């Protein structure tokens, strides 16, 4: 079943290649929408059959047995919500694309390929398979940014994105090799390495392995100081590309921490947990402060992503600090960090699609170019306000559940760091309230000025069908979190058992 979920977009892409390009956006984007919906149904089937503990829907075939590499897929409570997130966010991006795009055939082919490797990464249970999907996501996103961005700046942003994340992936590969060689018999199988715990004694070798893996994942997340590729990549990418980049690709880094770094290097993770907490808190505050200073809407949203990913690291680092005791705190921190990945994916994807809709009409992301949109475009204003309140962690939305769990779990282990991180919530609230005040309230102001004949329409049907489900998901997870927490928490307990060894 998991292979079908992963490679269904590839099959559809292969079928699309034989179609003539003149068929237009609706044909290609329509096929992409159907693929996403089918993938979502298949994920629901896997979800319904997920065992209480351990991996479900496991598939394993020897690939390169002499090197300990296998085609090994499986899901648990840490990966299944993210696999569902892939289907939801890509389907939303496909629906958004129905409004029209340049060179739709190539565009949809690239996104289908990206959808396949994204799904593959979250179900991979072999380090080399994980690395393969990790690297391919970089390649496909590079072509999305360079091909559908705006001229030379887009190509520069794509190159920066590629160089940063590719260098990070090389560090990741080095860490994987060091990890595999530490086993009695070289193996890249994640469950096998977790059981054997070959670097359980810690030491210099384990520290270097965690450093290599940590740098690779930190670049992709990204966290301070590895974040500089993110703002230009988001600014120059098309709206759907930004939504996928923030909603899915950033989660590949944080997911790598919970799937690989923590269970396979438990002693070393505990040893350097405070470093992880500090990096997380710096990212929280730095991201929020820089977002506050932005005049470009897309860059502002990009910096809030750094802020939110910092919360994830705070939770995971705090879990390492309380590994010897405080089981409930550890559980809250790890479950909250995983929940934050899902929540941020839904909310930030919606924000980037809204920003793209605005740019389509005004041809600029400059915040001061807009004003009074609540009267001119009420549907846009209403959804932007909902997305902003969800992003700043207002009760009733998924972000509140995630951040509440992270702060509660981390407070005992790292009280000073947690208190500092809480101020990030206030800064994020200030960011979004200021932007809403400038763009949605006051006299009407659009790039051509009020009263011009140039139309400035409200959100279209396809835009609503793309954005509303994302925000509805963030609301449902805020009001009924058990839907996802019942899946996350058993897997988080297993992770914490590995971490406490």
Domains in the chain: boundaries: 1-500
Q: CA-CA distance, 265 to 200, in Å (whole number)?
A: 7
pLDDT of residue 267: 92
List 60's β-bridge partners, or say none: 72
Strand partners, 72: 60
- What pLDDT is stored for residue 452 in this prediction? 57
pTM of the predicted model, to two decimals? 0.94
pLDDT of residue 178: 94
For the chain, list residues with pLDDT below 50: none
DSSP 8-state secondary structure symbol assigned to residue 58: E
On the CB side of 283, CA atoms within 13 Å amount to: 29
Inter-axis angle of helices 415-440 and 398-411, nearest 10: 160
Residue 484 CA to residue 343 CA, distance in Å, equals: 11
Backbone angles phi and psi of 60, in degrees to 5 = -145, 125
Instruction: Tell me if 112 sits within 8 A of 16, measured CB to CB.
Output: yes
Radius of gyration of the chain (CA): 22
Q: What is the pLDDT of residue 453?
A: 54
Distance CA 189, CA 233 (A): 33
Cross-strand bridge partners of residue 61: 71
Per-residue confidence (pLDDT) for residue 106, from 0 to 100: 94
The whole-number pLDDT of residue 114 equals 96
pLDDT at 499 (0 to 100): 87
Q: Write down the pLDDT at residue 120.
A: 96
Residue 386: predicted pLDDT: 95
Nearest to 190 by CA among 39, 78, 324: 78
pLDDT digit string (tens) for 316-342? 999 888 755 577 888 888 999 999 999
């Amino acid at each position: 079943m998991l292979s079908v979920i992963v490679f269904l977009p590839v099959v559809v892409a292969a079928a699309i290649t034989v179609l003539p390009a003149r068929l237009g956006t609706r044909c290609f984007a329509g096929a992409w929408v159907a693929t996403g919906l089918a993938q979502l149904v298949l994920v629901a089937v896997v979800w319904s059959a997920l065992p209480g503990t351990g991996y479900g829907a496991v598939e394993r075939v020897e690939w390169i047995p002499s090197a300990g590499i296998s085609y090994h897929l499986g899901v648990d409570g840490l990966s299944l919500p993210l696999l569902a997130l892939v289907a939801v966010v890509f389907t939303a991006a496909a629906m958004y694309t129905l409004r029209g795009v340049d060179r739709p055939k190539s565009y949809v082919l690239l996104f289908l390929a990206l959808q396949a490797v994204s799904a593959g990464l979250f179900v991979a249970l072999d380090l080399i398979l994980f690395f393969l999907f990790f690297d391919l996501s970089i390649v496909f996103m590079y072509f999305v940014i360079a091909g559908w961005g705006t001229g030379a700046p887009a190509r520069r942003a794509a190159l920066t994105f590629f160089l940063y994340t590719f260098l990070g992936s090389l560090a990741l590969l080095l860490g994987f090799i060091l990890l595999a060689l530490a086993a009695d018999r070289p193996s890249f199988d994640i469950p096998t390495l977790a059981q054997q715990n070959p670097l359980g004694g810690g030491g210099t070798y384990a520290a270097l392995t965690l450093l290599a893996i940590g740098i690779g994942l930190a670049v992709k997340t990204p966290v301070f100081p590895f974040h500089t590729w993110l703002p230009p990549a988001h600014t120059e990418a098309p709206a759907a590309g930004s939504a996928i980049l923030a909603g899915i690709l950033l989660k590949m880094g944080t997911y790598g921490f919970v799937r690989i770094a923590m269970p396979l290097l438990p002693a070393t993770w505990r040893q350097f947990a405070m470093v992880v907490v500090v990096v997380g808190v710096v990212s929280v505050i730095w991201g929020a402060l820089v977002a506050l200073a932005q005049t470009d809407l897309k860059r502002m949203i990009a910096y809030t992503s750094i802020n939110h990913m910092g919360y994830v690291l705070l939770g995971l680092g705090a879990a390492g600090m309380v590994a010897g005791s405080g089981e409930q705190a550890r559980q809250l921190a790890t479950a909250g960090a995983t929940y934050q990945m899902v929540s941020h994916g839904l909310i930030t994807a919606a924000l980037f699609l809204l920003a793209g809709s605005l740019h389509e009409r005004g041809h600029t992301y400059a915040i001061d170019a807009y004003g009074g949109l609540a009267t001119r475009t009420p549907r846009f204003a209403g959804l932007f306000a909902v997305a902003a309140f969800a992003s700043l962690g207002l009760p009733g939305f998924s972000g509140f559940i995630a951040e509440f769990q992270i702060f509660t779990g981390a407070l005992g282990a790292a009280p000073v760091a947690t208190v500092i991180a809480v101020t990030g919530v206030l800064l994020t609230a200030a960011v979004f309230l200021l932007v809403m005040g400038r763009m949605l309230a006051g006299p009407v102001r659009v790039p051509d000025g009020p009263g011009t004949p140039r139309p400035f329409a409200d959100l279209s049907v396809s835009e609503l069908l793309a954005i509303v489900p994302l925000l509805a998901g963030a609301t449902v997870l805020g009001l009924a979190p058990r839907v996802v927490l019942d899946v996350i928490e058993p897997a988080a307990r297993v992770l914490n058992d590995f971490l406490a060894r």
